[in-house]
Amino acid sequence: MTESPFTYLAPLLLLLGGIYVHRILYFYAGLTRLEAGRSDATPEITVVVPARNEEETIVRCLASLDAQEYPNERITVIVVDDGSTDRTAAAAKAFAERASVRIIVVPVDSYTDTASPKVRALMHGIQRSSAPVIATTDADCMVPRGWLRSIASAFDGTVGVVTGVTLFGRDPRLSPLFAGVQLLDFLSYTSIAAGAVGRGRVLVANGSNMAFLRSAFDAAGGFERLRHINTGDDSLLAQSIVRDGRWSARFLYGADATVETAPAATFRQMLHQRFRWVGQTAYYPPYMMFFMISTFILYILLFVSVPMTFLHWSTVPWLTAAAKFGVDFLMMRRLTALIGVPQAMRYFAATALVHIPFVLVSTVGGYFLSFEWKERTMTKEAAR
């Protein structure tokens, strides 16, 4: 009698599934511990906006920054033109002439020893600021009127870095199914980011909606060790700020702190975006890598073992998959309710159907393949 392959696979599936369920419930508990900012101070804030070939969106971004419910004299916006070949810089300069807040448009012409274009642009903007608080967003984003006020309220003396929610705006060119699956997949990263902060840790931060104290940035060494990394500068910086325990992080989830950006227009763009995001995990500390590696192995086993049950029946793969998607559902339902988009859960079943193969492909691509970003072809680590 042929021995069932599940003699060995079943215990491993149960072990890895147990680890996954435990960690997701750990992050779920973190979602219940998030705290709003309490400070009423209005420090000077510099907003750094890296921009490359964003002539269609830069004015909309700057208009949202010009409309902040925050003292105009305490806001400086620095647009760093990262080698645009279109009219991005001209459009930004034209808007700056009629803006209520101070807007500076500068080209990237320093830090030439920094291989990563995104890090080079950020360093260039930060170097030109003397404000105690630095905020970052992207040139294709729109921020709500209360964004800077929400950010300022978060820095209550112990917080060194702040991150928050970014949502996709409506794009009539996209099918509702593709847009919904893309949003819920994106929010799965946000749920881990928020849950980790609630637990006093930082795993993921989003540079489209992020701020930090200049003193915390300098104490952490800034972007010095990230000069050659093409992905994850936001998350890796946030991790380094809280690493020694002096500073904590805060996650903002209210409507006044939620940034809007455009979704990927095609599946190919979405896939390359995920390649870029996944690549950053190669630089995470070992204690963070354990969960990600165990999850990757679990996904491989589920991807292989569930179809195998039609040849060699076993309930273990199905029970493990049910447990995995069960805690995923709880996590995503909690997050979507928290940030005011519970309607996104209607796409949970469709997202769950493609989630495992999509993560596996994204992980392989992020580690071993190149990706396209801002009309550049890159790998996770730039040539030094």
Q: What is the pLDDT of residue 384?
A: 53
Kind of pairing between the strands at 133-136 and 210-213: antiparallel
Kind of pairing between the strands at 259-261 and 166-168: parallel
Lowest mean pLDDT among 32-41, 225-234, 321-330: 225-234
Q: What is the pLDDT of residue 231?
A: 76
Task: Indicate the pLDDT class of residue 382, thresholds 50, 70 and 90.
Answer: low
Closest-CA residue to 42 (of 74, 65, 86, 19): 74
Which helix (H) or strand (E) segment holds residue 251: the answer is strand 248-252
**Where do the domains of the chain lie?**
45-176+196-264
Q: What is the pLDDT of residue 302?
A: 97
Phi, then psi, of 330 in degrees rounded to 5: -60, -45
Q: Are 69 and 145 within 8 A, CB to CB?
A: yes
CATH class label, 45-176+196-264? alpha beta
Rounded Cα–Cα distance for residues 347 and 335 (Å)? 14
pLDDT of 1 strictly over 60: no
Kindly state the tokens that stand for 224: 């010095």
Rounded Cα–Cα distance for residues 208 and 143 (Å)? 9
Which of the given ranges, 7-16, 20-29, 106-115, has the highest pLDDT on average?
Answer: 20-29
Query: Residue 310, class by beta-carbon neighbours within 10 Å (0-12 exposed, 13-18 middle, 19+ buried)?
Result: exposed
Rounded Cα–Cα distance for residues 230 and 371 (Å)? 10
Q: Residue 198: CB partners within 8 Å, gap ≥ 6?
A: 27, 29, 30, 31, 32, 33, 34, 251
Q: Residue 237: CB partners within 8 Å, gap ≥ 6?
A: 161, 205, 212, 217, 220, 222, 223, 226
Lowest mean pLDDT among 79-93, 170-184, 216-230, 339-353: 216-230
SS3 (DSSP) at 79 = strand
Lowest mean pLDDT among 20-34, 81-95, 362-376: 362-376
Q: What is the pLDDT of residue 2?
A: 64
Task: Indicate the pLDDT class of residue 230, thresholds 50, 70 and 90.
Answer: confident
| pTM beyond 0.85, yes or no | yes
Lowest mean pLDDT among 229-238, 255-264, 299-308: 229-238
Task: Indicate the pLDDT class of residue 304, thresholds 50, 70 and 90.
Answer: very high
Q: What is the pLDDT of residue 369?
A: 86
